[in-house]
Amino acid sequence: MNYTQDPQMVQFETTVKALLSLLPCLFFLYVNGVMVFTLLKKPIFLDSPRYVLFGHLLFTDSLLLLLTVLLYILALTVARMITFFCIIVSELGAITVKISPLNLAVMSLERYVAICFPLRHAAIATVRTTGIAITVMWIVASLDSFTQVFLLVSLENTDFTVQRYCRKSDIFRQQVYVTLTLTFTIVNFVLVSVIIIFTYVAIVVTVRSTSSCVHNANKAHKTVLLHLLQLCLCLISTMFTMISSNDMLTKNPDIAAHIRYILFLVLIVFPKCLSPLIYGLRDQNFSHVFKYYFTFGFKSTVKPFPRS
């Protein structure tokens, strides 16, 4: 039986969905912001490649979360955006999606060098090499997006000043864009998976073959295992587009809207919120200072700047 929904109910439902999406994201953006502030306030963190990479992971995940929520709210409110800005926002979001697993791979390599080559760690894992690694990450993650934009400008007559609903599939409509994205995504995850699994196995072998620094080695291999879990969360996030574009969801638009909303929260929002939080709180040195700033200094047992 066909029926027309009450406009007020539709408006109420849209508002509730927007709030339920926005509030947890704002909370975790605040948490990530406090973590970044903590890293910036302690010089010892800025001098450690491990914490620099962690800060970069926080920044990219926060940026992705912010862009994703922005695009979702624009879609939920049926707002229009100039095509040029829509391309920038959507491609920047796609780049940050690809950077997260690359960042995890580099963090795993840093732990691998620290445990398997401890005497060379200080020479290999420097702030300068970390900066180079971050630059390479952005270049590799941007290849797919730059290729798509180049093909869009070369092959299609697109008016970049027209206002439209900001959906990437409506701008990059040809099959070649889907093939490019799928190819880059598969290569990216296979490469990262091989690196993380290799570093995990190498660290486990080192733990079993040496009796020195067993505590640090055990902690390192657990950290790499956590990176593998985070990689799985990143992979789950990429499944959103494939599941939400399933033909079965297009048969009933009302039910499809609710399913896409649940998938958005489960596959996009919460994985990006939880993975930096879990990793940050595992580090005792970092978590103590973070708790101090997170509670605005009310946690008096924490001394972030002890006097010598």
Q: Which has the higher per-residue pLDDT, 72 or 88?
A: 88
The reported pTM is: 0.81
**Closest listed residue to residue 186, CA positions, set 292, 58, 90, 98:** 98
Percentage of the chain with pLDDT > 90? 7
User: Is pLDDT at 304 greater than 60 in this prediction?
Assistant: no
**57 vs 251, which has greater pLDDT?**
57
- Name residue 15's beta-bridge partners: none
3-state helix, strand, coil in the chain (%, to 5): 80, 0, 15
Average pLDDT over residues 234-242: 63
pLDDT band at 136 (very low <50, low <70, confident <90, very high): very high
- Model pLDDT for residues 140-161, shown as the tens digit of each residue: 999 999 999 898 888 877 777 8
Q: For residue 21, count CB atoms less than 10 angstroms from its CB and return exposed for 0-12, middle for 13-18, buried for 19 or more.
A: buried
Average pLDDT, the chain: 78
Banded pLDDT at 305 (limits 50, 70, 90): very low
116: exposed, middle or buried (Cβ count in 10 Å: 0-12, 13-18, 19+)? middle
With cut-offs at 50, 70 and 90, classify the pLDDT of residue 21. confident
Is the pLDDT confidence value at 250 over 80? no
Q: Which of 6-10, 62-66, 131-135, 248-252 has the lowest mean pLDDT?
A: 248-252
**Residue 117 confidence class, pLDDT cut points 50, 70, 90:** confident
Helix, strand or coil, per DSSP, at residue 4: coil
Residue 172 has pLDDT above 80, yes or no: yes
Q: Which has the minimum average pLDDT: 14-23, 42-51, 89-98?
A: 14-23
Mean pLDDT of 175-195: 85
Contact criterion met (CB below 8 Å) for 192 and 101? yes
35-39, 53-57, 65-69, 86-90: lowest mean pLDDT where? 65-69
Q: Which CATH architecture has domain 14-241+255-294?
A: Up-down Bundle (1.20)
- pLDDT for 130 equals 93
Residue 287 pLDDT exceeds 70: yes
Q: Is 96's pLDDT higher than 70? A: yes
Q: What is the mean pLDDT of residues 251-278?
A: 67
Give the helix ranges, DSSP H, for 117-126: 121-124
pLDDT at 233 over 60: yes
Q: How confident is the model at residue 306 (pLDDT cuts 50, 70, 90)?
A: very low
Confidence of residue 71 (pLDDT cuts 50, 70, 90): confident
Cα dihedral across residues 92, 98, 101, 106: positive or negative = negative
74 or 124, higher pLDDT: 124
Question: 192-218 pLDDT, tens per residue?
Answer: 888 888 888 888 888 777 655 555 556
* Residue of higher predicted confidence among 144 and 257: 144
Q: Residue 307: what pLDDT? A: 43
How is the chain split into domains, by residue range? 14-241+255-294
